[in-house]
Each structure stands twice: as structure tokens, then as C-alpha cells.
Amino acid sequence: MPSFRPGLTAGLLLCSALTGHAESATETAPAVSKQVTAEPTYDFSKASSLPYEMPPFDQLSNGDFEPGFQAGLTEQRAEIDAIAHNPAPPTFDNTIVALERSGQTLTRVSEWFNNLTSSNTNDALDAIQVAVAPKLAAHQDAIFLDPLLYGRVKALYEARATLGLDAEDLRLLVRYHTMFVRAGAELSSADQERLKAINQELSSLTPEFQQTLLKTSNAHAVVVDSAAELDGLPPERIAAAAKAAEAKGLSGQWLIALQNTTRQSVLAELKDRKLREKIYRASITRGIGNPDDTTELITHMARLRARQAKLLGYPNYAAFVLDDTGAKTPAAVNKTLHDLALPAEANARRTAADLQQLIDAEARAAHTKPFKLQPWDWEYYAGKLRKARFDYDEAEARPYFELEHVLKDGVFFAAHELYGLSFKERPDLPVYQKDVRTFEIFNADGSPLGLIMLDYFARPNKQGGAWMTNYIDQSALFKRRAVVVNNLNIPKPGEGQPVLLNFDFVTTMFHEFGHALHGLFSDTRYPLLSGTNVALDFVEYPSQYNEMWASDPRVLANYARHYQTGQALPGSLADKLLAVQRFDQSFDTTEYLAAAILDQAWHQIDESQAPVAKDLMHFEAAALKKAGVDFAAVPPRYHTPFFAHIWGGGYSAGYYAYIWSAVLGADTKDWMRSHGSLVRANGDFLRAKVLSRGGTADAAELFHDFFGGAPDVMPLLVERGLVAQRGSGGTTAIRQDKEIRSR
């Protein structure tokens, strides 16, 4: 998207199935192939000559970016001035389309830079990010608060019914007018100056939080001295931990790096309870206290956001954000979260009782003292309970989920069957890190669709989590096809070891590829309406739906093959895998809802209610208690000090979007199954009605045209085990009383 547009920080689509750092690397590793040079060598004003205008990573230097930003800012400022001072009366072409055409240099440098600082940063890029952020904020304010420019946009908006615009042109005009108003274009001059000051501060605090969180997460990695403590971990995970320790100069030891989430995946397998507790406590104490404290940054951001919302005429920041989404109001979001939280936590407490019985039984058998179930015990004993109930052992299944098979015979296979896509690896194209792979994608008729880069492995200089974003946006205006990237954080095993995945990672691969398809299939005229540039609570819909193919029997049979023998996943084991997918959904749903409720709690306060840093965790605890989700055994998926989505990832007041989109995703899964599942007709229909449309129409309209009706919450409730069947009692059905609207 053109770089002056408001939207997700760094263009990231952060996803809920998050993983952490494990691969050895240094935080000062070069993000691109060339080192910093005395003079910039790359000219961002020219489109790349590579296929699809892919970034020429082998020609880029860290030192190219700051001059590139300056050139882009200067260029766009001149373009904007020319539009604002155009003596001709405003027209759609000389104002709105001209805005779309402006800032190409700045767009290019911003998108490339933001992706690199998220995926493969270093000290030089971190410094540039801090230096450039306030300049970009000031630049955006200069555009959206320009009275002459807004006067032209407003005049066109007010005359829109007489302009003879087609649907996409009209949509673009309305979006621009909305963006100007939400940026403060109608405020008084004095209030605009106050708003500019707030924007400047926030622009500096966001990258500071991102960089501080990366440092504190790395600093809290747990060092293990004895191999015996790692009993239960699979060999490839132990090898990865040894490799990570060696990279830190800790030869003969093991380093357990932290994922971005509260719970850590190793807790499901480690038998040593003391080590489980140590890892859990390392996770939840990130960002609290020096060094690398995030609490001061967070409380300051919360106050500034509340002040910003008040200036713009909203009672709180959540009201401001949600006014431009499908949810529309905090009340609608609160009701959705509350209606789901009650049955989810009730189910979680029942599961906790079962786990406690298992703990007590083990203690009796071993003649030891029983202990009370704690958060660091949940996944370990849930695994045992799963084994007892379903006779399913994740360790038994993991050899059948080798990365290459999952990618080519799973993710790519499903896309081929459903949409007719084919894939060709392009090792000839430069990448920014040696493990990144690039694939060219073709439509069923052989025509080119775009490029996807896959950056699957964890590194200490890489943001935690999983996400998709664009390097190049599709648009007919510029005759461009999309170049996208999928990022995960899979622990990279030692040299020669297979990359064997748990099913969470498998599902995450399909999830992120759903985002990628949304960007790649885009067939819009304008970048602002392209691909994933949709409402925050609609953007997760294609990815949530695409997860269904990970467990689809036909797709599963195609990719789940033993990495050594090639043997297909035995039918009995596949049946167990599918049967356990609903198991422990109460934990997953409750921890997610607790985090979403925390997000709303922070952003539904006014400035006077924001706590000081030392009271931050008290504020969090009170918010969870008030919402009735203060169940100690199931902590929030993210505690406030390391909640990257809302303090550094563009989901502030919007983390609820996952569950909002999940309703649509569950409906689409049902629709697919009722129409023959993995067949081309279904894929072509979804592509035509939703995936190619970007933000060219309201999300509610797009979904209705595909689904044939309004969203139905029941499939999601059944999918998550919160109700047994349609019409059953025991829970309050969620009703989306407000239309889902695109941004």
C-alpha cells in the first residue's frame, strides 16, 4: 500500500498460532547481502528489474535505506503539493487517482524495509527504524491534515452521486474521505497540532517496543545444563537447543528460546516439572523490570492512544478503531467475547478437574505428594489425557509431518486441486537470508500469478510469531502482480536432522498460506483496495478458512508420509489425529479470549484511567477478574508486557478480529463440505466472490455473495466443542447484529 496510508504497523498480518525463536543467529547479522557502504548504491525510485519487481536483495545495503526514505519523502511531498495546488477543479483522476499514483519510491522503500526489520533485523536497521519513524508520522500528518488537499477530496465526496463512478472508483473515493476524516482533517488547527504531537510520540514508541521485546525475549531464553532435564523432548528439538546454546558460546549446554506466547510448546513434552516451571516463569516475566522493560512504554502508549481518540471525538481508543471495522462498537465486541468466554471457561474448568484427577492418580501410584495443577502443567497432562482418551501420541505422528511433504504435498497440493495453481521454485532469485525460498505461482491456464517467499525458520533477529505480508501489492493501475512472504518460527534442527512438525505448525502453514492467497489472487485496480487491505476483522477470514485443508482427509493422506519410509500415515493414527482436534479447545479458546479481553480493557479506558507502569499487572489482573476469565490455570495467550499484537503489531483494539473472522471461516468450511469440498468449482467460486475482490466492497457484501446469507455462529461453536449441536442449551449464541464492513 502507498506508504502514507494508515494501517497495520509494518504491514504485518500477525496470526494466532504463534511460535518462537530457536535457530542460532546473531542480532547483528546483515539483513541483506551487502554490508553498509559509505554512499548509498541503490536507487529506490526505479522499479526492480527482477520478475514481478521482486526486491534485488543482493544489491541492497543497510546504508541504502535512510537515503531511500529521504528521497521518497521528498518526492511524495512534491507530488502531494502539485495535487493540492492544482488550479483545475478537482476531478476523480486529478485528485483521487493522483493520490494513488503518488509516493511510489516511498512505498517501495517502506515495504521492503518494514519486512526486513520484522524478519531479519540488525543493529543498523533498528537504528534507521527509530530515526525514520517520526519523519514518516510527520509526513502522513502533512498529507492528511493539508486543508487544500482535503478540500478537494471533500468536494468530490460530497458530489460523488453525480460523478458517474463505477463501484470500485466510488469505493476508492469513499475510503480516501474516511481516511482523511479519521486522520483529523476536520479538526481545528489547534487540535491538529495536538494530534501531530501525539502521533510523533507514538511513532517513536512503537519501534522502541518492538525492539525492546525482541531483546527481552532473547534475554529470557532458558539455559539448561543437563541433558537429563530435557527428557521427553524429541531429538530434533534437543539438537536445535544445543545448536542455539553453542551460538551463544554455551558449549555443552542447551538453550530453550521463548516463543512469543505465554505458554511454550516445550511444556507439552518436558517431563521435568521444575524445568517446566522455570520456562513458564521466564515467559511471563518478560518485559517487567530492567533491563529491557516494556511497562513504561506500554502505559505511555495507552495514555497517548486515549488522548488521540478523545481529540478525534471518541470516548476511547477502542471506539475509534472499531468505528472503521465490521464490529463497529466496543459493545458489540464485548458481547461477542463475553458470550464465548462463559462456555469456554466453564469447559476449561471441567478439563482442569480431569487433569487434576490424573495428577492425583499418578501421585497415589507413585506414593508421592500430589500438587495443584498449574499453567506449566496443563499441556503436559493434557497430552497424557489425550493419550488416555484417544490413544493418540503426538510424538508418534510427528515423523509423518516433514516440512517438505507438508509444503508441496499439502499446502501446494490443496491450492492446486482447489484453484488449479502450480508452483515452480526459483532459486535463481536473490533472498535476504539463506533459508528463505521463493516460488513462482501460475494459474491453471499457465498465466503467471505472482511470487511467494517462504521464511519458515526461527532466528534471534526475527520477530516472534507467524505472519504474511506483501513486498509488492497487486494493482492494475501499475500493472503489478503480488509478491508476498509467509513467515513462521519453526525451530531449525541441527545439520542433517529432518524438519518434523507438530500439527500446530502444520495448521499454521495452511493458515498463513490462506493470507498469501488473499494477496496473490487480488484483482483490483487500486493498491489501496488490493488484497488484504480490508477491515481488520475480515482480514483473518481467508486464513482461518484455509486451515481446514490441513485436516481434510484427502489432503492429509497426500502429505502425511513418514520422512524415512514414505509410508502414508496409518489410517488408525489419522483417525485419532482428526478425533483429537476438538480436544482441549476450551484451553485454546479461553486463553485467546482472555488476551482479547485484555486488549479491549486497555483500549476502552480514557487517559485518566490508564495505570502507571508499576501498577500495570494489577490493572491486567483486575480486568480479567471483572470479565470473569481470571482462571489461574489458563493464563491469557499474551500478558500485557509482551502482547506484540497490540503494542507493536497493528492489532490495537483489534485482537478480537480472530474470533470475529473465525465465525466466517467456520461457515465457509461447512459450505465447502456441503458442496463437495476440494473441487475446482468451489475454489473458483470463492476466488471470484471473495479472494480476488480485496477491499472493493463491504466485507458483509462479499461474504453474503459467497455464502448466500448472513454469518451463522453455530458452526464455530460446534467446531470448538462449546455446544453439541444446533439449538442445544448451555451457551448463548453469538449474533453479529452489526454488518461486517470493509475499511
722, pLDDT greater than 80: no
Closest CA to 325 of 534, 184, 600, 174: 534
pLDDT band at 616 (very low <50, low <70, confident <90, very high): very high
242, pLDDT greater than 80: yes
In angstroms, the CA 249 to CA 556 distance is 41
C-alpha cell at 376: 506449566
Lowest mean pLDDT among 41-50, 79-88, 580-589: 580-589
Give the pLDDT confidence score for residue 290 in this predicted structure: 78
In angstroms, the CA 412 to CA 410 distance is 6
pLDDT band at 198 (very low <50, low <70, confident <90, very high): very high
In angstroms, the CA 508 to CA 401 distance is 13
480, pLDDT greater than 50: yes
Q: Are 563 and 498 in contact (CB under 8 A)?
A: yes
Map residue 34 onto helix, strand or coil.
strand
C-alpha cell at 495: 545439520
469, pLDDT greater than 50: yes
Give the CA-trace dihedral at 590, 591, 592, 596, to 10 degrees. 100
Lowest mean pLDDT among 112-126, 692-706, 723-737: 723-737
Largest CA distance in the chain: 89
First CA to last CA across the chain, in angstroms? 14
Give the pLDDT confidence score for residue 124 in this predicted structure: 96
Q: Are 29 and 461 in contact (CB under 8 A)?
A: yes
Mean pLDDT of the chain: 91
In angstroms, the CA 454 to CA 326 distance is 31
Entry pTM: 0.90
Closest CA to 271 of 226, 236, 219, 217: 226
Encode burial over 374-386: b for 16+ CB neighbours within 10 A, e otherwise.
ebbbbbbbbbebb
Give the pLDDT confidence score for residue 32 in this predicted structure: 56
Give the CA-trace dihedral at 531, 537, 538, 542, to 10 degrees. 90
Give the pLDDT confidence score for residue 720 in this predicted structure: 85
Q: By percentage, how much of the chain surpasses pLDDT 70?
A: 92
84, pLDDT greater than 80: yes
The type of residue at 86 is N
537, pLDDT greater than 50: yes
Q: Are 40 and 69 in contact (CB under 8 A)?
A: no
Give the pLDDT confidence score for residue 724 in this predicted structure: 59
DSSP state of 445: T
Dihedrals φ, ψ of 311, to 5°?
Answer: -60, -35
Give the pLDDT confidence score for residue 156 in this predicted structure: 98
Question: Could you tell me which residues come within 8 angstroms of residue 131 by beta carbon, excluding any fewer than 6 positions away?
Answer: 66
706, pLDDT greater than 90: yes
Give the pLDDT confidence score for residue 576 in this predicted structure: 93
DSSP state of 227: G
pLDDT in tens, 315-360: 999 999 999 999 999 999 999 999 899 889 999 999 999 999 999 9
In angstroms, the CA 586 to CA 565 distance is 36
Give the pLDDT confidence score for residue 6 in this predicted structure: 32
Question: Could you tell me which residues come within 8 angstroms of residue 342 by beta carbon, excluding any fewer than 6 positions away?
Answer: 628, 731, 732
Give the pLDDT confidence score for residue 717 in this predicted structure: 85
DSSP state of 655: T
448, pLDDT greater than 60: yes
Closest CA to 591 of 16, 8, 161: 16
740, pLDDT greater than 60: no
14, pLDDT greater than 70: no
In angstroms, the CA 531 to CA 518 distance is 5
Map residue 55 onto helix, strand or coil.
coil
Q: Please give the C-alpha separations between residue 87 and each of 81, 91, 176, in angstroms, as whole numbers.
A: 12, 11, 21
The type of residue at 331 is A
pLDDT band at 20 (very low <50, low <70, confident <90, very high): very low
Closest CA to 537 of 339, 335, 333, 315: 333
pLDDT band at 496 (very low <50, low <70, confident <90, very high): confident
The residues facing 455 across adjacent strands are 487
In angstroms, the CA 331 to CA 316 distance is 12
pLDDT in tens, 629-650: 999 999 999 999 999 999 998 8
Give the residue numbers marked as catalytic: 512
Rg of the Cα atoms in the chain: 25
In angstroms, the CA 562 to CA 406 distance is 11
Give the pLDDT confidence score for residue 598 in this predicted structure: 98
Q: 432: buried, middle or exposed (CB in 10 Å: 19+, 13-18, 0-12)?
A: buried
12, pLDDT greater than 70: no
401, pLDDT greater than 80: yes
Closest CA to 415 of 665, 691, 670: 691
Give the pLDDT confidence score for residue 582 in this predicted structure: 83
Overall average pLDDT of the 232-238 stretch? 91
pLDDT in tens, 405-417: 999 999 999 999 9
Give the pLDDT confidence score for residue 11 in this predicted structure: 33
739, pLDDT greater than 50: no
Give the pLDDT confidence score for residue 726 in this predicted structure: 47
Q: Are 373 and 359 in contact (CB under 8 A)?
A: yes
Map residue 16 onto helix, strand or coil.
coil
Ordered domains of the chain (ranges, CATH)? 9-16+23-211+304-314 (1.10.1370.40)
In angstroms, the CA 204 to CA 297 distance is 10
458, pLDDT greater than 50: yes
723 against 407, higher pLDDT: 407
Q: Are 615 and 325 in contact (CB under 8 A)?
A: no
**Number of C-alpha atoms within 13 angstroms, CB side, residue 171?**
23
pLDDT in tens, 579-605: 898 888 889 999 999 999 999 999 999
Give the pLDDT confidence score for residue 149 in this predicted structure: 98
183, pLDDT greater than 50: yes
